[in-house]
Amino acid sequence: MKDVLFLAWRSVLYFRAKSIILITCLVIIIALPIFLNVIMKECELQLLSRAHNTPLIVGAKGSSIDLSMNSLYFSNDLPELIDNKSMEQINNSDLAESIPLYARFSARDYPVVGTNINYFKVRNLDLQYGRKFTILGECVLGAKVAEKLNLHVGDHIITSPESVFDLAGIYPLKMKIVGVLNTSHTFDDIAVFVDIKTTWIIQGLGHGHQDVTTIKDPSLVYQSKDSVVTATAKLLQYNEINEENLYSFHFHGDLSDYPLTSVLVFPKDKKSETLLRGRFVANDLNIQLVQPKAVIGKLLENIFKIRALLDTFIGVVAITTFLACLLIFYLSLKLRANELKTLFKLGCHSTTIKKLLAMEVLIISGFSIVICSFVWVIIQVFKEEIVIKVIEQL
Amino acid sequence: MHRKYFTIPLFLLALISCNTPKEKNREVLTDKKTVFVSNYPLYYFASRIAGDSTFNFIHPEFNNTASLAWSPNAEYVAKLQNVDLIVFNGAGFESWKKKYSLPTSIIVNTSLSFENELIKVKEVETHSHGGQGAHAHYKTASTTWLNFSHALSQAQAIKEALENLNPENKPLFEKNFSELKSQLEVLHKEMKQVALRAKEKSFIFSSVQFEYLKSGYSLKGHTINWSSKKAINDHMKEDFKQIQGNLKSKYFIWDSPTTEANLSFLKSQNIIPIILNTGHASSGDFLEEMEGNIQKLNEAIDLGTN
């Protein structure tokens, strides 16, 4: 048997081009369905687990998919905005706990998610380092953000402008990192969390500046008439919030009118959920209440339709590739007819020749399986990142 | 030679184990629930309703009126993020809360039921900068409890919040609240009688802290915004004379003890100074201090009438 193995091994090495082609074909046939299966399962798991953990979402009337994708996975598609008032109404109803979300801005290509600290509780997010944000301008990083950008507690991260052409726009805000979350294997790993009020400051709805009533520099005052002080554009507005300038930051108008992308709603019980849904269906306000489970379920139905199509396609490709492999074997046997005849003339039994050929097939299949195992492990390691990229594109 | 056969499985195992979630940290919770109250009147109501040792109350230092200007630091807020209930006065009392991140689901705003009756006062001059138009900064007068009907609403809100937190003690809270309610109703009635006696009189109030006393009991007068710690200067005297020219008041109500020089000036103008407790912790409890206020007002009215 050792002799057969030796001869088969030498043959595989000698016909290395043929062996590599066969191994590649087999790896593709085996790995492609595995890859798709693992990714689809992970995709389903990610989409459904977050949807299941979020009973209701309140947002502006419009695309329920955009609303759910932005609220659950912080997608770039910004839904229509709603007032902070909507959240206060839910809180005052005493039927549910509500968590505001304002996922509109980004910092170094990662979404900046404005929320409150209850978000960490409902998503079961624990801190790896540091603490939760306590004052305006502080942020907590998802595990992957901290890892990829090599940022630690005490470092700073600067928000990105919404548009590069917005030259007269709002200054980017330099935010202090006060905590890093544990890996959760969800979209929370790739987000920067701040207090909802910090996102309003990023948007320019709140600001901090020198006290106009006490400034001595006349170049900062444009006009002071009838108790109205008009400052010039030279007036310093702060782009970083710290203990010294914290109290100069303020918001104008009623915070109830400030924007949110959505509100995550966690009803106290089934009855409260029904009552809340009834209230939102009954009124004709410009807001809608969606059940992410149903929305994502529909989205997955479409994905599964595509998957069925893909499975058929892969099946056809697999059969074709398998036939091509058989053809390669057949042609290779034809080409090696003289070599095999010589072996026979040298006294090699026909059974031994068959064993030799079978061993060659086994070696090639064995290599293919080993490579597929590596591919499987690599998919397992990177599946979350792949799925996050896939969901971002949805 | 054999080591080679172990290398690949070990490598695979290591790769998979890198992907395993870490064990989650768990917070250790004590049995006694912690309640934060932001000022002395709320603390008084909460502790009266809760009775003995039901909750662990935390609050800012109640040393005179400073609790109005109190604001926590980041570490204190981190502590607040872990309490079971946060009792706020509302009405702009906790102006610092806009600067900090707190768990909204455990916050009780005790002035929510009368938010339409809150009084706005101008804080800073109108100003304009950047792309924004002219805007002024306003604040809400915070000492809501000086109107005892508001104080009762606040106590009611606290009772409901404590009941939600500790439903098994509901009968005790109900009993304690009922006692407190009757005492506050007595104060309200007495204050109404003071207002009736002062119907034809007017007052000068040193600060906006008396806005709810003024509006709640229809007291006539003007708020001059003087600090009791600051000496009355010539400019202030001019202002005073101008106001007094129209008002012809006999009473000046201070929110805390003032200097002898300030008292002398008022006496020289035939004004009776009255120093009222605006709700900070003192030698007596909240009810005693408020009863003291009513007595001082009555005495001053007697003096002014004679």
Domain ranges of chain A: 2-46+299-393, 56-205+252-290
Q: B287 or A206: whose pLDDT is higher? A: B287
Q: Count other Cβ atoms within 10 Å, centred on residue B13.
A: 11
From CA B257, how far away is CA B296, in angstroms rounded?
13
A30-50 pLDDT per residue, tens: 888 888 888 888 888 888 888
Cα A201 to Cα A45, A100, A115, A240, B96, distances in angstroms: 35, 16, 13, 10, 16
Report residues of chain B scoring pLDDT below 50.
1-6, 8-29, 66, 125-127
From CA A366, how far away is CA A360, in angstroms rounded?
10
Strand partners, A106: A111, A160
Q: Model confidence at A346, in pLDDT bands (50, 70, 90)?
A: confident
Sign (positive/negative) of CA torsion A296, A302, A308, A309?
A: negative
Give the pLDDT of residue A314. Answer: 83
Interface of B with A (CB under 8 A): 12, 15-16, 18-19, 21-22, 24-25, 71, 73-75, 77-78, 81, 98-105, 112, 124-130, 132, 134-135, 137
Contacts of residue A188, Cβ cutoff 8 Å, sequence gap at least 6: A123, A125, A142, A181
Q: Model confidence at A280, in pLDDT bands (50, 70, 90)?
A: confident
Quick check: A212 and B127 CB within 8 A? yes
Best of A42, A89, A118, A135 to mutate (most B CBs within 10 Å, chain B): A135
Q: What fold, for B189-305? A: Rossmann fold (3.40.50)
Single-letter amino acid, residue B64: N
Comparing CB atoms, the residue among B126, B130, B132 nearest residue A227 is B126
From CA A262, how far away is CA A347, in angstroms rounded?
81
In the predicted model, what is the mean pLDDT of residues A247-273? Answer: 89
Q: A319 or B128: whose pLDDT is higher? A: A319
Q: Model confidence at A176, in pLDDT bands (50, 70, 90)?
A: very high
Give the pLDDT of residue A118. Answer: 92
Partners of residue B98 in chain A, C-beta under 8 Å = 197, 250-251, 255
Give the pLDDT of residue B67. Answer: 56
Partners of residue A381 in chain B, C-beta under 8 Å = 15-16, 18-19
From CA B68, how far away is CA A246, in angstroms rounded?
18
Give the pLDDT of residue B247. Answer: 86
What CATH number was assigned to the domain covering residues B33-119+137-176? 3.40.50.1980
Mean pLDDT of chain A: 87
Quick check: A237 and B125 CB within 8 A? no
Q: Which residues of A360-390 are buried (b: 16+ CB within 10 A; e: fewer)?
A: beebbeebbeebbeebbbebbeebbebbbee
Q: Model confidence at A330, in pLDDT bands (50, 70, 90)?
A: confident
Give the pLDDT of residue B18. Answer: 44
Comparing CB atoms, the residue among A121, A134, A237 nearest residue B100 is A134
Q: A276 or A154: whose pLDDT is higher? A: A154
DSSP states along B8-53: HHHHHHHHHHHTSPPPPP-----SSEEEEESSHHHHHHHHHHH-SS
**Which tokens go with B290?**
């408020």
Give the pLDDT of residue B134. Answer: 54
Quick check: A227 and B22 CB within 8 A? no
From CA A222, how far away is CA A212, in angstroms rounded?
11
Kindly report, as residue ranges, where domains of CATH 3.40.50.1980 are found in chain B: 33-119+137-176, 189-305
Quick check: B25 and A126 CB within 8 A? yes
Cα A211 to Cα A165, B100, B126, distances in angstroms: 31, 21, 12
Sign (positive/negative) of CA torsion A268, A273, A274, A279?
A: positive
Q: Model confidence at A209, in pLDDT bands (50, 70, 90)?
A: confident
Partners of residue A239 in chain B, C-beta under 8 Å = none
Answer for the pair B67, B280: CB distance below 8 angstroms, yes or no. Answer: yes
Answer for the pair A139, A111: CB distance below 8 angstroms, yes or no. Answer: no
- Best CA proximity match to A375, nearest among A23, A13, A19: A23
Q: Model confidence at A374, in pLDDT bands (50, 70, 90)?
A: very high
Best of A86, A123, A134, A185 to mutate (most B CBs within 10 Å, chain B): A134
Give the pLDDT of residue A336. Answer: 84
Comparing CB atoms, the residue among B74, B126, B135 nearest residue A134 is B74
Give the pLDDT of residue B20. Answer: 42
Answer for the pair A125, A142: CB distance below 8 angstroms, yes or no. Answer: no
Instruction: Kindly report the pTM of this predicted structure.
Output: 0.76
Single-letter amino acid, residue A95: L
Cα B251 to Cα B143, B145, B204, B229, B257, distances in angstroms: 21, 22, 6, 19, 15
From CA A150, how far away is CA A174, in angstroms rounded?
17
From CA B232, how far away is CA B270, in angstroms rounded?
16
From CA B203, how far away is CA B201, in angstroms rounded?
7
From CA A102, how far away is CA A82, in angstroms rounded?
10
Angular region, A174: left φ>0, alpha ψ -120 to 50, beta rest: beta
Give the pLDDT of residue B22. Answer: 39
Partners of residue B78 in chain A, C-beta under 8 Å = 131-132, 134
Give the pLDDT of residue A333. Answer: 84
Which range among A346-360, A377-391, B263-277 has the greatest average pLDDT? B263-277
Partners of residue A115 in chain B, C-beta under 8 Å = none
Does position A139 have pLDDT exceeding 80, yes or no? yes
